[in-house]
């Protein structure tokens, strides 16, 4: 689930109203436009946290590449432990239109687990699987398939 621009705007307005009510009731003078501006700035700090609650790594108004459309998530297994998000995105972008990369890490140690999820434009899913499954990336043979929803996992 991706939290989009509209959701972020709604959250910002909620923060603005709450902030305005708190400051008004405490006797401090404030203006609603100033409170709205502060809430927009504050939401830039809070919304990444909210994104983690919704299970996504980024909150964006539109896809990074400027391509609009539906996206799908691919599971990528057997990733090299030394590969970071930028390296994986660069490699995959040479085959398909990558919107985002999320590599899984161990919560306790912070080390990468060797798998992740890549969001691509829906029209590129079959092409990505065909071209990238069993490809060698940094001396590891990748396993690429459609990602399962959390409810589908067995």
Q: What is the pTM of this model?
A: 0.54
pLDDT of 60 higher than 50 = no
pLDDT given at position 127: 85
pLDDT given at position 124: 77
Query: What's the average model confidence in pLDDT over 14-36?
Result: 64
How many Cβ atoms sit within 10 Å of the Cβ of residue 72? 17
Q: How far apart are CA 52 and CA 72, in angstroms?
A: 18
Closest listed residue to residue 81, CA positions, set 114, 118, 117 = 114
Question: What is the residue extent of each domain of the chain?
Answer: 5-53, 71-147
pLDDT given at position 14: 75
51-65, 97-111, 122-136: the lowest-pLDDT one = 51-65
pLDDT given at position 99: 92
pLDDT given at position 149: 79
**Contact between 95 and 128 (Cβ < 8 Å):** yes
Mean pLDDT of the chain: 75
pLDDT given at position 118: 94
**Contact between 88 and 101 (Cβ < 8 Å):** yes
Query: What's the average model confidence in pLDDT over 117-143?
Result: 91
The pair of three-digit structure tokens given for residue 64, joined into one six-digit string:
């990074």
Q: Identify any residues that bridge with 120 across adjacent strands, giving them in sequence order.
A: 72, 98
Q: What is the pLDDT of residues 69-102, one digit of tens each?
A: 688 999 999 999 999 999 999 999 988 889 999 9
19-23, 113-117, 122-126, 147-151: the lowest-pLDDT one = 19-23
Q: How far apart are CA 47 and CA 13, in angstroms?
A: 13
Q: How far apart are CA 38 and CA 95, in angstroms?
A: 41
The pair of three-digit structure tokens given for residue 89, joined into one six-digit string:
């995105």
How is domain 71-147 classified at the CATH fold level? Alpha-Beta Plaits (3.30.70)
Greater pLDDT, 25 or 73: 73
Question: Is 115 exposed, middle or buried, given 0-12, 13-18 or 19+ CB atoms closer than 10 A?
Answer: middle
């Amino acid at each position: 689930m991706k939290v989009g621009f509209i959701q972020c705007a709604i959250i910002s307005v909620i923060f603005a109203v709450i902030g305005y009510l708190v400051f008004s009731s405490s006797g401090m003078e404030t203006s609603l436009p100033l409170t709205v501006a502060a809430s927009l700035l504050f939401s830039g700090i809070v919304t990444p946290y909210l994104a983690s609650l919704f299970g996504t790594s980024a909150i964006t108004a539109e896809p990074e590449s400027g391509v609009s459309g539906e996206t799908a998530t691919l599971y990528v297994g057997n990733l090299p432990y030394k590969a970071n998000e930028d390296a994986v995105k660069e490699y995959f972008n040479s085959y398909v239109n990558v919107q985002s990369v999320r590599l899984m890490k161990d919560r306790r140690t912070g080390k990468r687990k060797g798998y992740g999820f890549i969001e691509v434009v829906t029209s590129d899913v079959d092409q990505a699987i065909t071209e990238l499954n069993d490809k060698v990336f940094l001396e590891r043979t990748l396993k690429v398939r459609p990602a399962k929803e959390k409810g589908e996992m067995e």
